Amino acid sequence: MNVAVIGGGYAGMAAAVALAGRGITVTVFESAQQLGGRARGVTYQDTQLDNGQHLMLGCYHQTLRMIEQVGGNIEQDFLRLPLQLDLHGEFSLKAPRLPAPLHLIEQLAIRVGWQKTPSNSLVMLVALLTAQGLSFSERLNAARFMLTMRSMNFRLANDINVTELLAQHGQDAELTQKLWEPLCIAALNTPIHKASAQVLLNVLRDALNRSRADSDMLLPRIDFTALFPQRAANYVKLHGGKVCIACGVEALRPLEDGMEITTASGTTRFSHVICAAPPAVAAKLLRPIAALAETVAQIDSLEHQPIYTVYLQYPAHVTLPNAMLGLHQRYSQWLFDKGRISGQHGLLAAVISAEGIHQELPQEELAQKVIAELREEFGVAEQPAWFKVIAEKRATFCCSPNLHRPLQQTALPRLLLAGDYTAGDYPATLESAVLSGLKCADVVIMQRGIM
Ligand SMILES: Cc1cc2nc3c(=O)[nH]c(=O)nc-3n(C[C@H](O)[C@H](O)[C@H](O)COP(=O)(O)OP(=O)(O)OC[C@H]3O[C@@H](n4cnc5c(N)ncnc54)[C@H](O)[C@@H]3O)c2cc1C
């Protein structure tokens, strides 16, 4: 067996590591000069940035496990924070430490076996009921919504959009704007009137309802290429594989007993191909293969959503009150203080997810809006020495209701598809990318058993 992986993003590198770890010969082809894809390190003005500020959650179990498998150390690589949604001066929700009696009841429940781990649902109910910036009836309403969703096992009979779900459960405008909308945009990168309620519930189920550590927010202290893809490449090479950078795949051809790949340096035969390129590239490579027409149609029907990150380098003494905090009804949806996260003092990042009026502004003007917001909200009077706007126009697929995402297994048994856009419970995230890569590797490993 020799497997080609097209694309050195999180999906492709997860697949490559899983295969190499099982002794299967693997070759990764990456078209760019560096690994990481949509989660990659970027250097600007001698400063280490990413193509966009990312956030991971404690429930990204497979991504965290893979980072450890290739030599990472989660506690050193990340700043771990308990879940906190803070819209500066407008709203604040924090996962509390349970008061002593509740904590003891929970410990007892674990000891007698009623419960396996500290459950987060009680913590989340307390968090909702004690949130600041909402009236008592709004807080009660939010808690009731979570309880109802829990009683339904976070499953809807029919998928609808998030606006409709919230309206059905009496979540008013204030509650929506301060809690559910920022949460939905952060999780699904899709505006609530277009977003799948079922996928949002999948995220709430896994992040808020299970173990307490699952809802933790993890902010990387190192860049996204160094965090996993580069370490993964070292791991693959150590296990006898190859990683070819700046080596894009131009064509794919099915053979009777394998697949043929064409790059600028020639044509090579493989027993299997895992295509982990972004959706537009995957569609282009698959289009000439008649048997894959349905898969190509599914990929073509996906729409995309942008994410903009504005990095600003202020003098080293400039800080924000928290490592991460949101703004209500501003251009900057979430602000990150890189000084607090990775020791890059004075470096701030403003993230603007999903479509919106910010897309109509020239980048210089957008940066000036963010600078004005930092001045008005936090009194940052200085001008930054530089700023850098990174606009990822096709950051993720638009996570709308009832999407038919292509399966990892295609009509050709030797060609598999990995990537955040392929079938799965989650929206486009690092975890969905990694999960898809692992699924493809599992299929190949199973086929080895019967070959
Ligand atoms: C700005 C931004 C912020 C984000 N924030 C978050 C976040 O906070 N949390 C989160 O979980 N997710 C976040 N995401 C989403 C996350 O980054 C993606 O879901 C994930 O990186 C997708 O990985 P992938 O491997 O599926 O695809 P990609 O990363 O797109 O990897 C595909 C790879 O294929 C390569 N390639 C393309 N063409 C070819 C070819 N012809 N031959 C060979 N290789 C090719 C590409 O260069 C790329 O390296 C964010 C995304 C962006 C853009």
Query: pLDDT per residue over 295-346, tens digit each?
Result: 999 999 999 999 999 999 999 999 999 999 999 999 999 999 999 999 999 9
Residue 358 in contact with ligand 1 by CB distance below 6 A: no
Nearest to 272 by CA among 411, 416, 406: 416
Tell me the C-alpha distance between 337 and 308, whole Å: 16
pLDDT of residue 119: 63
Residue 429 in contact with ligand 1 by CB distance below 6 A: yes
Residue 55 in contact with ligand 1 by CB distance below 6 A: yes
pLDDT of residue 112: 65
CA angle, residues 348, 320, 38, in degrees to nearest 5: 35
271 token code pair? 């027993």
Dist. CA 400 → ligand 1 center (Å): 19
Residue 17 in contact with ligand 1 by CB distance below 6 A: no
75 token code pair? 């506690």
Burial of 103 (0-12, 13-18, 19+ CB in 10 A): middle
Residue 7 in contact with ligand 1 by CB distance below 6 A: yes
Residue 438 in contact with ligand 1 by CB distance below 6 A: no
pLDDT of residue 113: 62
**CA 424 from centroid of its chain's CA atoms:** 13
pLDDT of residue 97: 66
Burial of 90 (0-12, 13-18, 19+ CB in 10 A): middle
Tell me the C-alpha distance between 451 and 444, whole Å: 10
pLDDT of residue 96: 74
Residue 424 in contact with ligand 1 by CB distance below 6 A: no
pLDDT of residue 374: 98
Tokens 């997810």 belong to which residue? 353
Q: Which residue stretches of the chain have pLDDT < 50?
A: none
- Closest ligand 1 atom, residue 10 Cα: 25
Is-contact 271 2, C-beta < 8 A? yes
pLDDT of residue 256: 92
Residue nearest to atom 35 of ligand 1 (CA): 7
Residue 306 in contact with ligand 1 by CB distance below 6 A: no
Dist. CA 10 → ligand 1 center (Å): 7
Q: Ligand 1, from 5, 13, 33, 38: best to mutate by most atoms within 8 Å of Cβ?
A: 38
SS3 content of the chain, % helix, strand, coil (to 5): 40, 25, 35
Tell me the C-alpha distance between 217 and 12, whole Å: 24
Tell me the C-alpha distance between 294 and 280, whole Å: 15
φ/ψ of residue 159, rounded to 5: -70, 140
Residue 66 in contact with ligand 1 by CB distance below 6 A: no
Dist. CA 432 → ligand 1 center (Å): 11
pLDDT of residue 210: 75
pLDDT of residue 35: 98
Burial of 420 (0-12, 13-18, 19+ CB in 10 A): buried
Buried b / exposed e over 425-436, threshold 16 CB at 10 Å, is ebbbbbbbbbbb
Tell me the C-alpha distance between 261 and 254, whole Å: 9
Q: pTM score, two decimals? A: 0.95
Name 313's bridge partners: 347, 386
- The three state secondary structure string of 265-322 is CEEEEECEEEECCCHHHHHHHHCCCHHHHHHHHHHHCCCEEEEEEEEEECCCCCCCCC
Residue 50 in contact with ligand 1 by CB distance below 6 A: no
